[in-house]
Amino acid sequence: MLKQAFGDLCMSCSRTFEWFGHFKNGRTSTANDDRSGRPSTATTPSKVEQVRAAVNQDRRRTIHDLCAEVGIGYGSCQRILTEQLNMHRIAAKFVPRVLTQDQKDSRVAICQELKETVKNDPTFNLNVITGNESIVYAYDPETKLQSSQWKSTGSPKTQKSMYAKKAN
Q: pLDDT per residue over 68-86, tens digit each?
A: 999 999 999 999 999 999 9
DSSP three-state, residue 152: strand
- The whole model's pTM is what? 0.45
Domain range holding 120? 100-126
Q: Are strands 149-152 and 87-90 parallel, antiparallel or unpaired?
A: antiparallel
Is residue 163 situated within a structural domain? no
Evaluate whether residue 110 is within a structural domain.
yes
Query: Is 109 within a domain?
Result: yes
Residue 74 forms part of a structural domain: no
Q: How many domains, the chain?
A: 1
Q: What is the mean pLDDT of the chain?
A: 79
Asked if residue 53 belongs to a domain, the reply is no
Position 50 scores a pLDDT of 92
Q: 148 with 90: CB under 8 angstroms?
A: yes
Residue 108 lies in a domain: yes
Residue 38 is assigned to a structural domain of this protein: no
